[in-house]
């Protein structure tokens, strides 16, 4: 509807693996909720290891809170909260990386790495919304 913009894309670029995997990503912008949702689905046969790397703007730190397989963090200077749910998280960590907003200009930034082992299906959901809005709804 008018309150939601949705993009869905799927690729089978991992079909060359002995145990094929298909990746589908859905990105939704929920206007009324002022929220972005990135949903990854991986499905195939056998046991696989999926790895996500999220890169954040320079100057923002990513203090992680971990509850079971769920992760959440707030960027205090950006007033944004991010929640990651759904996948059985085998490991996660932040690390320093470089981003480039223009050619030849590098800036140190923080990145988040998530690894999840799965059999047949993996489902990870990342939700991004303003922290003030989150505090009002809880």
The domain ranges of the chain are 4-137
What are the phi and psi torsion angles at 131 (to 5°)?
Answer: -65, -35
Give the pLDDT band (50/70/90) at residue 40.
very high
pLDDT for 137 beyond 50:
no
Q: What is the pLDDT of residues 58-94, one digit of tens each?
A: 777 777 777 666 787 777 666 778 888 877 777 888 8
Give the pLDDT band (50/70/90) at residue 130.
confident
**Mean of pLDDT over the chain:** 84
Average of per-residue pLDDT across 45-62: 83
Q: What is the pLDDT of residues 88-113, one digit of tens each?
A: 777 888 889 888 889 999 999 888 88
Length of the chain: 138
What are the phi and psi torsion angles at 58 (to 5°)?
Answer: -60, 145
Give the pLDDT band (50/70/90) at residue 134.
very low
Adjacent-strand bridge partners of 124: 40
Cα–Cα distance, 115 to 47 (Å, whole number) = 13
Cα–Cα distance, 65 to 22 (Å, whole number) = 30
- CATH number for the domain whose boundaries are 4-137: 2.70.98.70
């Amino acid at each position: 509807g008018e309150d939601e913009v949705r993009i869905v894309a799927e690729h089978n670029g991992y079909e060359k693996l002995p145990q094929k995997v298909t990746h589908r990503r859905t990105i939704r912008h929920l206007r009324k909720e002022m929220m972005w949702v990135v949903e990854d689905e991986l499905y195939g046969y056998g046991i696989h290891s999926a790895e996500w790397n999220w890169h954040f703007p320079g100057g923002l730190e990513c203090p992680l809170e971990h509850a079971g397989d769920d992760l959440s963090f707030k960027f205090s200077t950006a007033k944004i909260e991010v929640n990651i749910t759904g996948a059985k998280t085998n490991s996660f960590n932040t690390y320093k990386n470089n981003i480039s907003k223009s050619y030849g200009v590098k800036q140190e930034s923080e990145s988040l790495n998530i690894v999840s082992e799965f059999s047949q299906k993996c489902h990870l959901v990342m939700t991004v919304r303003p922290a003030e809005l989150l505090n009002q709804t809880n």
